[in-house]
């Protein structure tokens, strides 16, 4: 749970620094739709996404940052450039017939922004997303 607080704090700091709001997928019913093996269902049910979203929203409210929840339907299956269907290209990469390819989470984020009417410069869609990850210690 401490990790959720730390992640939420970083997200809020970033949003404040860049004067942004926060968009999150509405994952309220995700657990009801899980129909996999017993072992995989157990792993998926242990995800902390609900707690993380709660902390993000709580900390955003304390900092007067807007939070919007959107329907996650097709956020990582449609191309943010042309709207076409994406096909898998490796473990996390997705590719479109138009030539666009990216990580599925980056694609979902871009589509979430598009769903809210945020115009993205074409350059931003093709620049790599660099995330700093630090290990525990």
Chain-centroid distance of CA 8 in Å reads 13
Phi first, then psi: what are they for 126, rounded to 5°? Answer: -110, -5
How far the first Cα of the chain sits from its last, in Å, is 17
Longest dimension (CA), the chain: 44
Q: DSSP E strands: which ranges in 3-130?
A: 22-25, 67-70, 87-88, 93-95, 101-103
Q: What is the pLDDT confidence band of residue 135, given thresholds at 50, 70 and 90?
A: very low
Q: Which of 22-26, 33-37, 62-66, 114-118 has the lowest mean pLDDT?
A: 33-37
Question: Is 0.75 topped by the overall pTM?
Answer: no
* Residue 137 in this model has a pLDDT that exceeds 60: no
Phi first, then psi, for residue 34 (nearest 5°) are -80, 120
Give the tens place of pLDDT for each residue, 53-88.
Answer: 899 999 999 999 999 988 888 788 888 888 889 998
Residue 120 φ then ψ, to 5°? -110, 135
């Amino acid at each position: 749970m401490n990790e959720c607080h730390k992640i939420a704090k970083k997200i809020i700091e970033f949003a404040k620094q860049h004067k942004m709001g926060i968009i999150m997928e509405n994952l309220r019913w995700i657990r009801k739709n899980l129909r996999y093996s017993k072992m995989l269902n157990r792993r998926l049910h242990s995800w902390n996404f609900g707690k993380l979203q709660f902390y993000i929203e709580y900390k955003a409210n304390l900092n007067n940052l807007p939070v919007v929840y959107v329907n996650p339907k097709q956020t990582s299956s449609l191309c943010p450039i042309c709207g076409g269907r994406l096909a898998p290209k490796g473990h996390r990469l997705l590719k479109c017939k138009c030539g666009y390819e990216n990580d599925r989470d980056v694609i979902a984020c871009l589509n979430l922004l598009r769903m809210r009417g945020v115009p993205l410069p074409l350059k931003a869609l093709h620049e790599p997303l660099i995330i700093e990850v630090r290990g525990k210690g």
